[in-house]
Each structure stands twice: as C-alpha cells, then as structure tokens.
Amino acid sequence: MATFILLADYSDQGIRTIKDSPKRLDAARDTAKRFGATIKDFYLCLGMHDIIAIVEADSDDAMAKFALSLGSVGAVRTTTLRAFGEPEYRKIMGELT
C-alpha cells in the first residue's frame, strides 16, 4: 500500500455547511474504501490548511480517483502528496548509484 498526505481546504460551500463536515468525513471514508484506499489519520488544523489526512491506497490511480471524487462534492479542495515512510526512504537511498 502506498501512503499519501492529503491536504484539504474548505471551499466557500464547505464552510457554509461546516456543521455537515463530520457527515462528509464519514462519507469520505466510505468513498475511500470504494477506490481501494483507507483514511488512516485525520486532523483538523489551524494554519495554512484546514485538514490533513493520512491515506493509504492500493495505487496512485486509486488515490487519484479518491481525491477527484472528494473534490467533485465541492466542499473541499485538495492537494495530494505521495509519502515514503522510513523503510521506503532507506531502500530508495540504498539504491542510488
């Protein structure tokens, strides 16, 4: 499974309906499963981004489908980062020539 950091910011629509945010999170978890992804951790944030989620997905394609599906609802805009854990990092560094 690949790990991704999903940064999300509330849209105008999302902030107007902020009280529905917990329901949207539950729906996002269900959507993630449909695409072969799992929201492992979720954080409401202060600062540059409103939400940070750690997501594991079967593939880059699965994550792309999940992120696009989230964006299509209109409540958040997302940025997705592929993250490499320490074991993957060490493997990558060990294979440099």
Whole-model pTM: value is 0.93
Q: Where are the domains of the chain?
A: 2-94
The string over 49-84, giving b where at least 16 C-beta atoms fall within 10 Å of a residue's C-beta and e elsewhere, is ebbbbebbbeeeebbebbbeebeeeebbebebeeee
Q: Which CATH code is given to the segment(s) 2-94?
A: 3.30.70.1060
Residue 97 confidence (pLDDT) above 90: no
40-80 pLDDT, tens digit per residue, is 999 999 999 999 999 999 999 999 999 999 999 999 999 99
1-41 confidence digits (pLDDT tens): 999 999 999 999 999 999 999 999 999 999 999 999 999 99
